[in-house]
Structures are given as structure tokens and as C-alpha cells.
Structure 1
Amino acid sequence: MGVKRIYRKLKPTSRCVMGKMYSVSMTSGSCDCTEADFECDYGYERRTDGRCNPAFWFHPASVSRSCTTGMTFLNSTGYRKVVSNNCTAGVIAEYTARRQQCPAQAPRGLHLVTSEASLTATVGTNVTFLVFLEEGAGARTSITVDFGDGHALTYSNVSSMEDGIKHIYKSVGIYRVSAVAENSLGSETTMLYLHVTCQLEHIHLSAPFVALKNKEVNLTAVLWPSQVGTVTYIWWIGNNTEPAITLEGSVACTFSKEGINTVTVQVSAGNSILQDRKTIAVHEYFRSHLLAFSSNLDEHNPDVPEWRLDVSRVIKNSMIQATGIREDQLLVSVLPGLPTAAEVFLLLDKLITEGRPEKSSAHLDQLSEVLLNALNQNLVQFTLRPGVQVTVYAAHLSAAPLVDTSENHSGSAMLMLLSVVVAGLAVFVVYKFKRSQASTSMRRCRTKKNKN
């Protein structure tokens, strides 16, 4: 094992035995190292010629890749001394690993991650980015991090970023964050896409209270706050067993049957999911009118769905008492926002119009006339609370069609429009005619005075 020992040996003819206290003088020293004192180093294997060469799976150059430029490392010769071997000199200098300077390398293996290993962050909070470089992390390798929001930082080397890079995003969005490592031998770029979101607080599903059968209806989900980041909308419409999933906050749908349909929208933003639900009454024929209220109602309007629902019931009962219209022929919906407004829907009496569509227009005209007369005479009133009396007015006729927009059902509306136009023209002609007569009379009077 690399050590030689010299000791005294008894003569072959000697018959005596040395006692326990007798010591044989002995000398020892190290041997010169030979190839036999070395074995193949890690990653090397001995070939048939007795030499240690790299194995097929081992690349000697990879040992220096983790080495930082400007530092040193032990470069293996392919051999290492056998454990407990104490040889010296000889071939030891040839077979022992040599300390060498780390070679300069181009940046390679650049990694950019967040400290939480997440691709989402909340607006207004610190985000810590970590940068790792497998090769070329020398003193002359600079790192530039672009946060994607117009801000960027440059560091002289990787070691100055060991604690991470902190940044705060002030706006919601998807940001392209990139890191560039660069030195005289080359450069390396990596990037990630960070989703910056804020907490979704509330959603409101905007949908018509009443819809026409087989006519397209627009549904819109309104978010608070309006910008929360990447959002997924999940729509459950009617009796559909599978939802419609969109990235937009509005969809269009149609209902092929009359009746009450429920529409639910779920909004997924970040780690939260909120939902809102509305019911839509689908009818083949209806007429609607917008309603206004005395200004004192706005003072007591908290603009919450529960309040609007309660007031809608109160308005409906007041209309039934003032007009005598049946409960199943009236629907009232108080609209969100201020000033307070509402919409009333007049529905057909199936016992009168069933199987006779030609009577639908006349029947709805009759209901509208009764309702508008009551509104114009301030007969529709209700008590919101003791001492607060609210009057309901007719704002204006809704643009909603009586049935649909085809020619068969728009005759009465066109006739009313033509009547208004003709009446206006008649008034204008009479006015011009009277002006003309007055002017002629004035000229005659002036002529007579001049003659006199």
C-alpha cells in the first residue's frame, strides 16, 4: 500500500525464541508511486490496454460547467489514488488531479421563477423573482430582468441576486417577464408570463326580465371591480345539462318555449368563484313600458337586489288595485342604478287570445291604454314607509316589439306612426294657410289707406 518495511529475520539454524520484551529493529518508508497505486476516477473505466478512459456516458468537460469564471477547480486526470495508499513521488504528479482556472463560458441554462413557484400574483403585493444560471455565471456576466410593465433592472453578476428580485405590479394584467444573461462569449434569454389579478368582490348578471320566444337574448355578467385579471365565465342556461364556457362576459341565447327559465353565471377569477342567477319569463307576445317615480324614492334606494325585488312586488300590487288588470298579466322589474326606474310588462290573457293571434294586438293595446290612463292620472301610488308616499309615472313607450319585427305584426304600430305624421302635416298646413290669409288682409288694409 505504498509503504516498504525493513526488519531483521532469525537465521534458519537458530532454535531460540525471543522473549516478549525483545524488540526487533525495523525501518519503514514510502514507496514511489506507480500506476498500480491508482484506480480509475469517477466517470472513467479501465480499458484493455490498462489505461483509464472516460466512460460513454461521462463528459469530462461537464465538471467545469459548475465552475465560476475567475475561480479554480480540480481537473481529473482519470485516476485517483487507492484508499489508504501512502505512496509518494514517482508518477504521482502525472496521475493526480490538477488545479486549473475555471474557463470562461457563454451563459447557458438560465432559469427564471418566482419564489412561490407560482405564475399568479395579487396586484399591489411584492413578487420575488429568482434567477439561476447553470453555466457562465462569472463576474463579467450581467443579468437584466424586464418585468414587462415598463420597468427593468440590470445586475453585474448572478451573485448579487441571491436574495431574489422584488417588484410590485400596480395594474391587473398578464405580464411577460424576461431575464437576459450576457457576457463577451454570448447571451441566454428566458421568460415567464405572470398573471396579476385582484380579488373579485361581486358579480351581477344583467338579463331581460321578459324575453320573446325564439328571439335572441343577450346576457351580460358585470364584475366589481371591472378589471380582475384572467376570468372564465361558466353559463348554465335553462335546462341545459352542460354549461357554456367563455372568456367573454356576455353570451346570446334563445328560448324555444314559453315559461320561466333560470340562467346562472359562474365567474372564476384566481382562487375565487362567484355566481349570480336570474329568471327570464319567455312569452310569444308582450308589451312593455318604462316607469319613473317621484324623486323621494331615490333617497331611500340602497340599490341592492333584495330591495328592488320587494319594491317590484309593491308596484305590481298598486297597479292591480288601480287598473283591475289580473296578476298573471303583469310583471314589474325595478332596474339597477339611480335615478330609480322600472319596467312593466303586459302579458296576454290566454283564455281570450289562444288560437286567435289576430286578437293579440288589440288585447295588448287595450291593456296598455288602461295602464297608461291610470299612470297619467297619478292613480298608481304606494307607501314606502310611514310618511313616504311614492307616485308612479309612465316614462315613455319601450322600443320592445309587441310580438316580433315581422310585417304581419307591425301593422298597428305603422298605422299609429302614419297617423301621427299625417296629423302633424295637417296642423302645419292649417297654420301656414292662416298665416297667408292674415298677410293678405294686412296688405289690403295698407292699400286702402294709401288711396285715401
Structure 2
Amino acid sequence: MVEQRSSQCCTKVHELLVSFQGEACIMGAKRIYKKRKSERKCMQGKYAGAMESEPCVCTEADFDCDYGYERHSNGQCLPAFWFNPSSLSKDCSLGQSYLNSTGYRKVVSNNCTDGVREQYTAKPQKCPGKAPRGLRIVTADGKLTAEQGHNVTLMVQLEEGDVQRTFIQVDFGDGIAVSYVNLSSMEDGIKHVYHNVGIFRVTVQVDNSLGSDSAVLYLHVTCPLEHVHLSLPFVTTKNKEVNATAVLWPSQVGTLTYVWWYGNNTEPLITLEGSISFKFTSEGMNTITVQVSAGNAILQDTKTIAVYEEFRSLRLSFSPNLDDYNPDIPEWRRDISRVIKKSLVEATGVPGPHILVAVLPGLPTAAELFVLPYQDPAGEHKRSAEDLEQISELLIHKLNQNAVHFELKPGIQVLVHAAHLTAAPLVDLTPTHSGSAMLMLLSVVFVGLAVFVIYKFKRRVALPSPPSPSTQPGDSTLRLQRARQATPPSTPKRGSAGAQFAI
């Protein structure tokens, strides 16, 4: 069966609808629609569409809460806990005006009119004059560090106050200060370049006719740490204090933290100083590591130190042609030390574990030769002091005969010579400790001179023997002076002068 439908629609087939069911106003407007009656079957003509529209009266439902406000249970928009409504006027200058929010804003595309619209719409308000408050100074990236020689941007932030009528003074802490008057905006920040490393106290002071405020920033200015060298003796005696120093390049880097690992310690020693002192209570080879933390970078160096109760140390010198090829870098010194040790072993036959060679920094090229009482892992066959003396004499004999040499490169032969022999190593090569050793030596000299002067003074004040009755007054003094002139100077005992001390 085919249903027959009317081919046309007329006005009598429509019924009127008001907006949607349940609400008369949508987005601030009331709209009237028409639709085909349900009993009509026509298909042609305009059977649906809006007939008319009119705005509605504004109600609270047509408004959302403005930025910084929250709708509470009673339906009102009140400031959130983190929002300060008065902060909206911080950029206002006295005499200007701004829109003071009521806490509400009309929904976008809402067409309502009248009603609460006037009550909820933001109103123009004169900018009040306020004293500076809530001043802060920070870097643009929020960090407390800056790099030497590079621009650092400082942001001055003010919660309240008339910026355009405020006097601003910034002291960068390095002897440079700047001042600003009638500053239109602080959004671009203040740029500055520090030419030295250190911790700088940056202060900012703001003043206007109603008050003042100040803020401080402690800025750490650093430069990149490129190299760390751990300086310490190559060999030391047991239970003797050892000084270890971290030498940095560049020397002025900024705020640093030093982490020291030595011996069998499971926990490191953390210091702010680049030098420490410690002792080893047992013999053997020990590894010392220092880590230097500079900003986001951490560099380290590791050295090995030999600890023995007794050993011998011999200073070595070389033929001058070695200086022409000395670049004075640690890698070259380590390589040459191995070459020298190999030459000594071949020329003398002394086992390698008894010899330690360390080429020293600087020019002319010099080295320290250590004769060690090597002990095998089983703890047997440890060399005695007499054995060390014999090995030292053998080494000196071969060195004096020019029997120790090595080929630096094809056609370049380098001779190794003995400088002097000591009973202990060169404990520290840093200027500070060498100055201490010199001070100790001068103290010994001054004490010796004082003893000598006191001894001479006592001899001069010694009383003469009583004169004989036949002696005239004054003759005893004359005889004493003549006796002193005739008495030859006393000869010091053998060994009392010119003695050598090994430190």
C-alpha cells in the first residue's frame, strides 16, 4: 500500500513553539519557532524555522566569574585565596583610570540587556596613588647563578605602586649602580654583565611620594671549570700527615664544592676548601680522588700515592736537549716517567717494583726517583734499610757513569744524571708548604746563632783568677786580654758543622 501525502503545505498546518522546552531564554534571547503539525503529511513549502527573536533581561545566569574569582555555594563570585583584586591597578599611573572588575563577566555572544547587566559590568575607576609594596628582584630564568662575561637579565617585580612615578635604583654589587625615573615598563628587565666571579649582593630600592620598598638578591657569578689537577706527594711515610691540593684552571671559578675520596673510606669528605690533610696508617698503594662541583659541572682527578715506613729519594736531572721537547703537560710527564724507569731497570738490573719515577712540573726538566722497600703479596722478602742503601748506591754509580739514557726520538739521546740523595721524598711542591719548610730551616739557623752568641757572651763575662800581690792594679785585665789574643780559636768537633738533614 502506498501512502498518499499532500503535495503542499499551508499556514494552517503549522503550530508555534517558543524556543526549547523548559527555558524561555537561551544566551540572552527568546526565539519563536514554527513546525508542522503532527497530523499533517505535506512535504513542500516552509514548514519549520524561526519566526521572531527578542532579547531577554540579564540575570546572574548570563554571567561567569571573572579571572581570579570563584563561584561559592551561595552563587556569588568571590576572590580566590591566591588572588589580590587590588593588584589589577599596579600598572596604573596617578591620573589614569582602569576597569575595576566586579567579579563577573558576561558570557561571550550573550545578547541579554538591562537587568543586572549594569551591576555586574566592570566600571572605570581612577588609578589610586599607592606606596611601593611587594618588591622582588629575580633573574629572567629564575636561577641564582650567572656566567662571567655574559649578559644576565634582572627582573624587578612590584605588587603595588605607581611604576611611572617611582624612582628605581639598582646596585649590582660590583661597584656599578643604575637609576630609573618614570619607567614606562619593567617587562624587558635590566641587563648587566659581570666581569669577575664571586657572590654579589644585588639590591633594588624603589621610592615614590607615598613610601619606599627594597629587595636583595645574592647572585653567584661563575665561569666554566675546565681542568682539575690533584697535587700531592708521590710517596710518603706511614702515619705522616699528607697535604692534598686541588689545582684548578682557571683558578678563579666561583663557589665550589670539593668531594674527597681516599683510603678505604666508604663515605667522602666534603669541603669548601681546595686542600685537605690526612694520614695513612698502613703501607701500600693508595688511591685519592677529588671531585670538584662548579654549578652544573663536576670534574675530577685521581692520583696514587705509595706509603712506606722507610724509603730513599733521589733527584734526577737530564741533558738540556730534553727541555726543547717538554710541553709541560701531565700526559707527557707520565710517559717520560715510564721511559726513565725502564732505562733504570735495564741499566742497573734493579727489579721494577723497587723503583718509582715521577717527572716534576716546570722547566728545566727534573724528576724524583724513589727507592721503595717492595714487599711481595705474600708479605715476605721485604727490603731492609741496608738493602735500600745498596740499591741507592748502585743507582748513583750507574747514573754517574752516564750509563742511564734513553732515546727520545730517532737521533735524540737523553742522559739521566743524579742530583742528590735524600732519605725522604719531596713532600709537597706547592709554594705554601715550601715556604713553611724554609721558615723551619730559618728557625733552626736562628736558634743555632742564639746558642753561639750566648756561649761567646759567657766566655767574655767569666771572672779572671785573683792577681798576685806583686801585680799592680790593672795588670790582670791586661793579661786576660793578651791571653785571649794568644789563644787560638777552638776547633769544632768533627760533624758539628756542615751536617746535612733530610726532611
Please give the alpha-carbon distance, in whole angstroms, between the structure 2 residues aligned to 1:334 and 1:110. 59
Counterpart selection for 2:229 from 181, 204, 217: 204
Distance change in 2, residues 1:109/1:63 (3 Å): closer
Structure 1 residue 175: Cα displacement? 1.6
Distance change in 2, residues 1:44/1:99 (3 Å): farther
- Which residue of structure 2 lines up, in the alignment, with residue 295 of structure 1? 320
C-alpha distance after superposition, 1:345-374 (max 9, x if no partner): 1123659xx9999x9443333333332233
Please give the alpha-carbon distance, in whole angstroms, between the structure 2 residues aligned to 1:125 and 1:56. 41
Paired residue secondary structure (1:187): strand
Distance change in 2, residues 1:340/1:102 (3 Å): same
Partners of 1:261 and 1:282 within 8 A in 2: yes
Paired residue secondary structure (1:299): helix
Distance change in 2, residues 1:256/1:65 (3 Å): same
- Which residue of structure 2 lines up, in the alignment, with residue 153 of structure 1? 178
Distance change in 2, residues 1:224/1:398 (3 Å): farther
- Which residue of structure 2 lines up, in the alignment, with residue 393 of structure 1? 417
- Note the residue ranges of structure 2 that are not aligned, 5 or more in a row: 1-62, 427-447, 449-485, 487-503
- 1:107 and 2:132 aligned: yes
Partners of 1:259 and 1:281 within 8 A in 2: yes
Structure 1 residue 74: Cα displacement? 5.2
Counterpart selection for 1:126 from 143, 151, 174: 151
- Which residue of structure 2 lines up, in the alignment, with residue 144 of structure 1? 169
Q: TM-score, normalised by structure 1?
A: 0.68
Which residue identity is paired with 1:255? F
Paired residue secondary structure (2:164): coil
- Which residue of structure 2 lines up, in the alignment, with residue 332 of structure 1? 357
- Which residue of structure 2 lines up, in the alignment, with residue 366 of structure 1? 390
- 1:69 and 2:93 aligned: yes
Structure 1 residue 239: Cα displacement? 2.6
Higher helix share: 1
RMSD of equivalent CA atoms: 4.5
- Which residue of structure 2 lines up, in the alignment, with residue 194 of structure 1? 219
- 1:162 and 2:187 aligned: yes
Structure 1 residue 57: Cα displacement? 8.0
- Which residue of structure 1 lines up, in the alignment, with residue 402 of structure 2? 378
Please give the alpha-carbon distance, in whole angstroms, between the structure 2 residues aligned to 1:96 and 1:356. 100
- Which residue of structure 1 lines up, in the alignment, with residue 264 of structure 2? 239
Partners of 1:72 and 1:102 within 8 A in 2: yes
Please give the alpha-carbon distance, in whole angstroms, between the structure 1 residues aligned to 2:318 and 2:190. 58
C-alpha distance after superposition, 1:126-179 (max 9, x if no partner): 111121211112422011111111111111134243322111111122222221
- Which residue of structure 1 lines up, in the alignment, with residue 347 of structure 2? 322
Please give the alpha-carbon distance, in whole angstroms, between the structure 1 residues aligned to 2:290 and 2:105. 71
- Which residue of structure 2 lines up, in the alignment, with residue 24 of structure 1? none
Structure 1 residue 343: Cα displacement? 0.4
- 1:268 and 2:293 aligned: yes
Counterpart selection for 2:282 from 227, 247, 257: 257
Paired residue secondary structure (1:227): coil
Distance change in 2, residues 1:60/1:280 (3 Å): closer
- Which residue of structure 2 lines up, in the alignment, with residue 218 of structure 1? 243
Structure 1 residue 230: Cα displacement? 1.7
Paired residue secondary structure (2:93): coil
Please give the alpha-carbon distance, in whole angstroms, between the structure 2 residues aligned to 1:298 and 1:57. 75
- 1:173 and 2:198 aligned: yes
Distance change in 2, residues 1:271/1:368 (3 Å): same
Paired residue secondary structure (1:139): helix
Structure 1 residue 58: Cα displacement? 12
Paired residue secondary structure (1:62): helix
Partners of 1:155 and 1:161 within 8 A in 2: no
- 1:117 and 2:142 aligned: yes
Please give the alpha-carbon distance, in whole angstroms, between the structure 2 residues aligned to 1:282 and 1:133. 63
Q: TM-score, normalised by structure 2?
A: 0.62
Partners of 1:69 and 1:105 within 8 A in 2: no
- 1:342 and 2:378 aligned: no
Identity score, percent: 58
Which residue identity is paired with 2:262? I
Which residue identity is paired with 2:393? E
Distance change in 2, residues 1:196/1:398 (3 Å): farther
- Note the residue ranges of structure 1 that are not aligned, 5 or more in a row: 1-38, 46-51, 403-420, 422-435, 437-452
Please give the alpha-carbon distance, in whole angstroms, between the structure 1 residues aligned to 2:138 and 2:417. 62
Please give the alpha-carbon distance, in whole angstroms, between the structure 2 residues aligned to 1:312 and 1:56. 73
- Which residue of structure 2 lines up, in the alignment, with residue 444 of structure 1? none
Structure 1 residue 338: Cα displacement? 2.1
Partners of 2:230 and 2:245 within 8 A in 1: yes
Partners of 2:235 and 2:425 within 8 A in 1: no
Which residue identity is paired with 2:405? Q
Paired residue secondary structure (2:184): helix
Which residue identity is paired with 1:256? T
Give the stretch that moved more between structures: 140-149 or 363-372.
Answer: 363-372
- Which residue of structure 1 lines up, in the alignment, with residue 302 of structure 2? 277
Number of aligned residue pairs: give it.
Answer: 372
Structure 1 residue 101: Cα displacement? 2.6
Paired residue secondary structure (1:110): strand
